[in-house]
Structures are given as C-alpha cells and as structure tokens.
Structure 1
Amino acid sequence: DASSATFATAVTDGDSYSVGVKAQDSTGVWSAEHGVVFTVAFAKPPVPQLRLEWIADAAAVAVAVTNPPTSVGEADAVSVSVWRSVNGADWVLIADGLDPDSSTTDFIPGLGVVNYYKAVAKSALPSVSESLVEEIVTDQARAVWVNAGPGFSQAVRLASNVKINKAASRARTLRRASGLEYPLENTGQQRTRTVSVTARLWAPTHPRAALSSTWDEIVDVSDRIAPACIRDPEGYREFVSLGDPALGDALEMTRDLSWSFERVHYQEPTAEAFE
C-alpha cells in the first residue's frame, strides 16, 4: 500500500538531501533500505535590474533597482539588497531589506576609481536572484570629502588649496641587554594611522566660496562620532575618528583650515558577515 510522510526539517535552496525507507513485515523482519538523493531548487524571483547615477554635489552614487514582473515558474520578490565593490575589492552591503522597485544612495563610493554594483532580489521561500554587475567611474570628483553620521549621509567638501599629510606608526620599544652592543626591539600589534588636512576657506561673499563647505558645516560634521570616512579624488579612502578642526583668525577673504583624523577599526559588512 502507498503511504507518505512529512518531515518537519526545513530545506535550503541549492542543498542536497537523502531520504531512505525500510519496510517491516508482520514477523518483524526489515527489508533492505532504499534511498534517494535530491537537490532542492526553489523558484527564483525575476533578475533585478540596476541604474546608476552620479550625484556631483555629494560625491555619491544613486542606485535604482527595478524588479521585472513575475513570470510562470518564478517567485515574487519581497525584498532587495544592494552591494558595492571598490576597484574589484570584496563586495560590501550598501542597503538591505529594500522594497522591490526602490532606490538607495551610496554616500561613500571610492573616488577616482571604478565602483561596481549589484542587486540581489529575495523571495519569501527564500530564494535569490542577482542582477548583472553595473559599474561607474567616479573621476568627476575634485574635492576631498568627509562623511559622517547615519549611513555616512552627512558630508562636507574641501576643494581649495587642499593638502593631505599622512603618517603611520607601530607600537615598539627598544631595550638594552647585557653583553649586546645594540638594543633589541619589542614590537606590538597596535598601529596608528593619522591624516592631517589643510585647506582654504573663502569669505561667504567671494565667488569661490561655494568650492568648499562652510566653517559651520565643518564644525557640525566634526561633532559626529566615529566611524567617519575621508575620501580624496585619487582613490584614498579611510575610516577615521574626527579630530577638532581649527580655522585661522585673519579677517581676510581667505582663512586657513586645519583638520586631523585618525584611522579606527571599522569594516563595511561583507558577504561573510551574513554566512
């Protein structure tokens, strides 16, 4: 007689499973086991499509996602995530849980480099479909940008007479040992990376005043907590703690700004973080 059984174990799309069955007769004798191996293949949502747009006044990239209508044999998309890779580095998550046919903004793409983007549509099963990879070259930026706040959405720019100085150090001490002419070095794992930026701010009435953000805007951003992100047009991109900006007090058409930063431990979320 035919019979069936339902297993409570949830299966995962793309994984393989084995099921075995044995029969027992009225005398208690068991038959040999008969087994099958099967691979789960959920219906997938339609492949999403991407459209990228450069936002010049924020040095950011707008990412619009389109989810095509569902066809026979496909599952409805219930959410979308957007991922970015700077110059072919690891994919990092820009936005998650977006509604289908929506958009988001990447406020800290690399500048002066190629940025790659992809969207991943997810169904309720769950199953996923990835878009084609789209790219955008961000060589239009001409300023140093500092982003902070939620999602790095608050930004200031410095574009006049900008100079960047970088310094690196590692924890180490020297000690003398008996019988040795020269000292020995003890080296630690702690490292320090600092950046100092100088720039020129113009008086509000000067035609070049709009090249850079205002002093008040800079002070407001400097008050944000780490991590912040500093980027320059040559591809330099670092997550930092914000130091205190200082402005020269000469009452002239220009004033000199100085601002320091220190690298902090921060990593954008990669695919491995979700596995």
Structure 2
Amino acid sequence: MAEVKKIDYTIGKQIRESLQADCQSCFGLCCTALNIIASSDFAINKAAGTPCPNLQSDFSCQIHRNLRDQGFKGCTVFDCLGAGQKVSQTTFHGQDWRQYPEVSEKMFRVFPIMEQLYEMIAYVAEALSYKVDSPLYNKLRLQLEKLQYATELEADALLTIDIANYRQPVNILLLETSEQIRQSHIAKIANGKNSRKFDYRGVDWMGKNFVGKDLRATNLRGAYLIAANLQNADLRGVDLIGADLRDANLCGANLSTSMFLTQMQINSAQGNHQTKLPSHLKQPSYWVD
C-alpha cells in the first residue's frame, strides 16, 4: 500500500510570517512610485513616479516619527509585505534609481505589480496554514508556486503580467478555504441547534455598535466597518478579506484566528494592548495602552 504523505500546514505559516517589509533594503519605492491624493490620509498631492518631498537622500523619511501628526496617516497604514526590497534588490539587482535614472521609470511601474503579487502570496500562504482538505491544499500549493515564480521574472516580463488572470483563481481558492474553515467553526458554535446568521459579505456596518458581540466565523468579506465599535468583540474565525476597518474600535477584540486580516487593515484601525491579533501581524506603535 502506498504511503500517504502527511500535509505540512507549517509551511504556509512560515511563509506568511516571513513577508515583512525591510525599508532599509528598498529605494523608497512606496514614497516615489505611488500616486497620492490629498485627503484625510495624505497632506499633499503627489504624482506617481515623483518622490515625496519628505524622502531624504538615503531614502529615509524626514518626518517618520511624526507622520500622523503631519497629516500623513496613510503612510503609517501602508505595508508592501516585502515587495519593495524584492524589486530593489532582486528585480533591479540593487540599482538605485537615483544613481541609475535610466531604470527609474520601469522600476516605478514594476513596483505596484510586485506589490499585488506579494499580497496574493500572503493570502495563499495563510490559506495553506489552515487545515483544509488535501485537494484544496494541493491547489493552493500550485497557486503559491505560480505566484512565487512570477516574482522572480525580469522587469520586462513582470510588466506584461495580467494581474486579473492571477487574482481570479486566487479568489476562488480563498473563498473555498474560507468556507471550509468557517463551516468547521460554525458546526461547533451551532451544536446542532438553530443559530444566528453567519454570512454578511459586503455588509454596511459603518459606525455600528458591536461591543462584546460574538461574531465568530462570520463572513465579513468586503464589509464596511469604518468607525464600527468592535470593542471586546469575538472575531475568531471571521473572514475579513477586503473589509474596511478604518477607525474601527478593536480595543480588547479577539482577532487571534481571524482570516485574511492584513497589517494595513490593522494599521488603519484603533486598538490597544488587549487586542489579540494573528501571529503574523504586529500591534501599531500608535495604539493606546
């Protein structure tokens, strides 16, 4: 009888936790390549490809310690997951766009593509950390390999990528992952009895009060949770992919096993040291004690 290969769910966790931005190895690409529109998140307008006036010659930010006070809250929210150093050090082999201006335009176009690839890698890697069934696990592994391969392409090849063709299969797999994991939670919560509604995909809960509510295993994909009060809420097993958490109150909330939660979502919310987060996310330094 053929030996059944055991699934290693730690691989996805390790990959997900390794996706961290290293700004010292990047050439200030998020401060240069991206378009900025003056708003409550940014104090200025800045065209894509134009360096932010706060970007210094060593690619550090001269107002880094006071970004939020200076009207640049959006900068403290952003997280490239390591796409910046990948473009700087691998795709362009450490060529500083200031010293090699001939590569600058191409580098700035490649960065948003790499950023989206890294975002998808993060989601797929996280999905691989869950105890999904073998067929889904194998499909996720193949998708991860495809995404990782794309990040190693040369700049010209990266510029030809159709991101939509990558996103569609990824989204299908993430939906399947969410359904499998949440259903396992729901079965335990319901315990054979009539239970509450669990599907609130795309719901508008802006400013709503959910203090202390049990929202475990709820589908909140793409939900509008702007300024919602989720203080001390139980958000374990909740699918939060694409949910807008700007200024949501997460003080004391339990998001320890929330699904597809990103650092940018957390950075845009309010919380404290009692907020429980997944292991791959960090509490922002500006959260209250």
More helix by share: 2
Larger radius of gyration: 1
With CA pairs under 8 Å and 6+ residues apart, which has the higher RCO, 1 or 2? 1
TM-score normalized with structure 1 length:
0.22
The normalised TM-score by structure 2 is 0.21
Q: Which has the higher strand share?
A: 1
